[in-house]
Structure 1
Amino acid sequence: MCFCDFDGDGEMELIIGSPDSELRIFKNDLMRAELLETDAVIVLQEFDRNRFGYALANGTVGMYHQDQRLWRIKSKSVITAILPYPNNDMITCVWNSGKIDVRSINENGEVVCRDSTLTGQTVIAGFTSMMNNDDELEFTVVTAEGKVHGYNNSKPKELVDKTQETLHLFGQKKHNLLIELSNFEQEEQLSESEKEKDFRIPIGTSVECKLFVSKSDRNLYLVLEASHEVCIRGVIAFAEGLFEGESYIWIPKLIEGNGDRVQIPIITEKDMANEIHIRTFLGPQESNKLSVFETALSIPRFARFCVLQTEDAFSTPKSYVEVSIKIRNQRILDWVMDTFLIDIDYPIDPEEDLMEIRFLGLASKRDQELCIKHFQSDGKTIIYHKCMETAGNIIQSLCDYFVIDTLEAHAEFPDKFAEVEEICNELDSMYDVRDRLTTDLTEKQTLLMEVVVRAEDAIVIDDL
């Protein structure tokens, strides 16, 4: 945890990172905001100008400005400490592998300098201090062997000539451009027959990416389809917190038909928006040269639900949350379109007083119903769902979308209330047992005191 002026009002807020991958910001005794990450939060560090740094158990380190993430990077190592050093516009990352790097906060976390002298040693702590009493900030790291290493930001006596470094950089760019030019020249010299022998894909080939919900198994799929019936030889998808290891590799064991269509299952465990970066490898089956197409696809926050048509069977859950939001149905529908999987041509009339949209859970939420009702006349909005956490996330999403700071809610969760009542009853029985044990113990203590007194009396009588 750490303290940070999160909202810029001059007062410190408490930021807590939890094992359930959430950052919670508290102002006094109220939760001000909640930010969802992809793994357990292990390090938090305050910076000035409403900024704070964080690190996760999976090796991710990043920076927030209020509730907006500025940047994040990931490493195979795990962060031991984040330090505001050498100034508040720089962040020093101390990794458990012994690596130390200084990054610029304003330049998307770009590395300014790094130190590898401790590589191979396990670093267990890092902190800033003023060791020499000269008002010069230093930082210290401690290794598992008990060794302590100190670092300071000493300025070089002479300016380093960067001419050679600049020449090397431009020389590398020149080399890359010459290779590219050579490829174009070789392309122009090839005849049509040579191009056909080279198994090239047709000009204008594209890859279409979309999300598809299978009604048979109620699963969400990422569908890739190549034009001109070009075979898809492989797919690499990157998404934080979506795939194990944050990447998914698909290579067909056996290509069926043209092989121009691929379905990849998507299982989301949390209610969070995500973006999949996809690299698709295209080429004829006989070719050993592949063309790479890069695309990106956004997944809405509540992709664990698919919309149901009016004629589909549906059982309204008994649990619900009721709030009052005086907003037109059309704006509620815009929010649903933005955060749920729903077709643009979904048959609904936003001008009616009651707008009702029904959903069914997919994969991790399989067969869990969700219903959203909104009355345009009085603004009453009801979220029917049995999971309290998901219902709370939906209410929070509504508030974020319509910029609502305060919202009164009435919740009814019979199963949860019954569970709490059962726990209270168990506690009552435990309290009864504790009282009986206390009474028995008191009686035993009284009996013991009587036995001791009688024994002392017997000793005195024997002495007489």
Structure 2
Amino acid sequence: MWIYFGKNSGAELFWTVTGDVISAITCLSYENNEGYVNDIVVGSEDCTVRIFRNESIVQELSETDVVTRLVSLGEEYFGYGLRNGTIGVYNKVNRIWRIKSKNKPICFIGHDINQDGCEELICGWDNGKIDARLRSNGVVILKIQLDACVAGMAVGDYYGFCNILLICTVEGDIQCFSLHKSKNNVTLESSEDALRHLITKRQNLLLEIQSINENKCLSELSKTEIQRSNVSVIKANTELQTKLEVSPNKPCVNLTIQTNNNTPLRCVVLFAEGIFNEESYVVHPPENNSYTSSFLVELKPTRDMTTDLFIRAYAMPLIRSSDRNSYYLLSCTQLLPQFCLYRLLSQNSKLDYQTDLNSLQSTVFFVVHERPQRLAIWLNQNFILETNITVDENSTLSVVFEELRPARMYIPTINQTLNNSDIKQQNSSERLLHIIMTSKGEITIKTDNLELAANLLQSISRYFNITELSSICNFPKLFNTLEELIEMSNSYSSTQQQALVEMTSKSETIKELIVKAEDYRLNGNWKSLKKTIQLLSAANHDILSNYYSRMTDYEASNNCLKCINQIIEHVSSLRVGKYKTNVINMCRNALKENNIGALKKIIRTGSN
């Protein structure tokens, strides 16, 4: 939730907040600059990797699952691991490679095994496997298999031997492996991998040669001769066509996949990050059905992020050979816009939905040195629209969208049964998004979804190449929620302090009763011993109840702090550059002083 660095004396060096609970952290030189050797890479449970320089976020990278492991690999490279078993390497914001496994990565370490000047990514897995992969392409150059799950790894000098990989398992075993080898030394596994790669390449080349020869022969045959030759053929101009449209009835995006000349399809396979379970989806009709040339797939992305859809389809030949399992593979790629789950309702808010829009009190206002026509281009690229939005010269752009994904806001509710305050996420009744831009470059975003407003502003600033941007916002419901969260957090803190004092007192009482019980036992005073043991049991029950109550309050307090930090993160994202950093620092100071009035002003105006 927040990042804190301090000296060994306790003096604070660095403090900032992130959007969710921090699950991994490492340091690297992001721009390979000696002046910035301690840029911080942070992974959090909101599936995001953030790169910090001082208090400013340099880059944000969205992943498909919780980031659980991060390690620096030298220069501008770092390795990452996800909870779903994915590992990979980034160079700045460019992902070099990634692989996914059914096992989970447990620990990372970077070390130059082959002495090429680049650190390899060494990963320990939950099935006891350890592998080392090249930073450049992910090729495995070292494999080790243990009998138990890996708990931790380290590389160093051990008993006079250099480059020793020490591996500890969950069963307590520690094993050492030498990583020393010369540049010219190629292991048996590396040779086998190279041979396997060459065999695969040879097979692919032979298939290409066979295909070229068949096409050459087919070009010289007539249709009747082709049927007699017993080969499978489709039309030469056959290709896949895709179309995206927002569903008029369901909260989803409809993806239509079809061939351009009605060639029937046997099945379709889609690959996409963060949309499907296991990142893939297969449409496979039963056998002996009348096959169609078109498929409709419903897409329901859980977050606002740009995604590439990789589509593979098996086309059925119009002229079939005796081999009924022979199909032609067609492929294409479809880009899913960032804000695809928003349905356009109107381009003239003054005539349509004016009554509903008047109830939208939450707004963000900022000014850019651009024309409404440029914002219209951004809308066309980031939303799914039936027709492109156009704006006349010297006119105002005004569009209204409906959010298909339920908007979520943090609203505190009291659970009287448990006698405890719980933070829950409830669906907001307001699902409208209103974007306005005047000819003067004044942009107003109206929505009750704070996270959506922040994502929109950040996307617009990136599109316009804006590095510094301030804004004025007003979220009345958010202010009330934030005030309640702070009051609840303070209440939990005081309750925990009181419970700690009571537990300390009970602990002293238990110590005294234990001493008395031992004295009564030695003196044979069984009646007093029985009474003392009963008192000891009651005191022990009280201290256990106190402990469980403290644990419940601690979890609720953490939930409050998490919600507060997420609100501050989203509010700061309503600004860009130094204005974003200033909001985080000023909000922190206001929270330290418990000055809710100043906190509201900072959120609203970006200054105190």
- Structure 1 length-normalised TM: 0.80
Please report how far the alpha carbon of residue 131 of structure 1 lies from its aligned counterpart in structure 2 after TM superposition: 2.1
Counterpart of 1:234 in structure 2 is 267
Please report how far the alpha carbon of residue 417 of structure 1 lies from its aligned counterpart in structure 2 after TM superposition: 1.7
Of 241-250 and 414-423, the range deviating more from structure 2: 414-423
Change in Cα spacing, 1:128 to 1:395, as seen in structure 2 (3 Å) is farther
Counterpart of 1:260 in structure 2 is 293
Change in Cα spacing, 1:159 to 1:22, as seen in structure 2 (3 Å) is closer
Does residue 389 of the first structure (1) align with residue 444 of the second (2)?
A: no
Q: Where do 5+ consecutive residues of structure 2 fail to align?
A: 1-24, 408-426, 507-608
Q: Aligned runs of 1:329-408 on 2, under 5 Å?
A: 329-343=372-386, 345-349=388-392, 351-363=393-405, 368-377=431-440, 379-408=441-470
Change in Cα spacing, 1:10 to 1:284, as seen in structure 2 (3 Å) is closer
Identity value in percent: 25
Q: Where do 5+ consecutive residues of structure 1 fail to align?
A: 446-464
Q: Indicate which of 268, 278, 286 corresponds to 2:311.
A: 278
Counterpart of 1:92 in structure 2 is 122
Q: Indicate which of 149, 156, 173 corresponds to 1:129.
A: 156
Contact map agreement 1:230 1:258 (CA 8 A) in 2: no
User: SS at 1:373's partner residue?
Assistant: strand
Output the amino acid matched with 1:319: S
Does residue 250 of the first structure (1) align with residue 283 of the second (2)?
A: yes
Q: Indicate which of 29, 37, 44 corresponds to 1:5.
A: 29
Please report how far the alpha carbon of residue 43 of structure 1 lies from its aligned counterpart in structure 2 after TM superposition: 0.6
Deviations 1:151-175 (A, max 9, x none): 3332259766989959867865665
Please report how far the alpha carbon of residue 299 of structure 1 lies from its aligned counterpart in structure 2 after TM superposition: 0.7
Q: Aligned runs of 1:303-314 on 2, under 5 Å?
A: 303-310=340-347, 313=353
Change in Cα spacing, 1:38 to 1:348, as seen in structure 2 (3 Å) is same
Q: Indicate which of 128, 135, 144 corresponds to 1:105.
A: 135
Counterpart of 1:449 in structure 2 is none
User: SS at 1:245's partner residue?
Assistant: helix
Deviations 1:312-360 (A, max 9, x none): 54633321222222222222223222322235532432x2242222222
Counterpart of 2:95 in structure 1 is 69
User: SS at 2:469's partner residue?
Assistant: coil
Change in Cα spacing, 1:210 to 1:386, as seen in structure 2 (3 Å) is same
Contact map agreement 2:109 2:122 (CA 8 A) in 1: yes
User: SS at 1:16's partner residue?
Assistant: strand
Q: Indicate which of 321, 330, 335 corresponds to 2:364.
A: 321
Contact map agreement 2:233 2:319 (CA 8 A) in 1: no
Counterpart of 2:526 in structure 1 is none
Please report how far the alpha carbon of residue 426 of structure 1 lies from its aligned counterpart in structure 2 after TM superposition: 5.1
Of 93-102 and 249-258, the range deviating more from structure 2: 249-258
User: SS at 2:45's partner residue?
Assistant: coil
Q: What is the alpha-carbon distance in structure 2 between the residues aligned to residue 35 and residue 2 of structure 1?
A: 15
Contact map agreement 2:245 2:384 (CA 8 A) in 1: no
| Greater per-residue helix proportion | 2
Q: What is the alpha-carbon distance in structure 2 between the residues aligned to residue 117 and residue 266 of structure 1?
A: 40
Please report how far the alpha carbon of residue 243 of structure 1 lies from its aligned counterpart in structure 2 after TM superposition: 0.5
- Structure 2 length-normalised TM: 0.63
Output the amino acid matched with 1:261: S
Q: What is the alpha-carbon distance in structure 1 between the residues aligned to residue 231 and residue 126 of structure 2?
A: 49
Contact map agreement 2:246 2:341 (CA 8 A) in 1: no
Counterpart of 2:592 in structure 1 is none
Q: What is the alpha-carbon distance in structure 2 between the residues aligned to residue 382 and residue 306 of structure 1?
A: 19
Contact map agreement 1:3 1:14 (CA 8 A) in 2: yes
Q: How many residues align?
A: 434
Aligned-residue CA RMSD (Å): 3.7
Q: What is the alpha-carbon distance in structure 2 between the residues aligned to residue 430 and residue 82 of structure 1?
A: 37
User: SS at 1:334's partner residue?
Assistant: helix
Q: What is the alpha-carbon distance in structure 2 between the residues aligned to residue 291 and residue 262 of structure 1?
A: 17
Q: Aligned runs of 1:157-236 on 2, under 5 Å?
A: 165=195, 172=203, 175-176=206-207, 179-180=210-211, 183=214, 192-193=223-224, 195-196=226-227, 200-236=233-269
Higher relative contact order (CA 8 A, sep 6+): 2
Q: What is the alpha-carbon distance in structure 2 between the residues aligned to residue 423 and residue 273 of structure 1?
A: 33
Q: What is the alpha-carbon distance in structure 2 between the residues aligned to residue 175 and residue 101 of structure 1?
A: 32
Q: What is the alpha-carbon distance in structure 2 between the residues aligned to residue 158 and residue 69 of structure 1?
A: 29
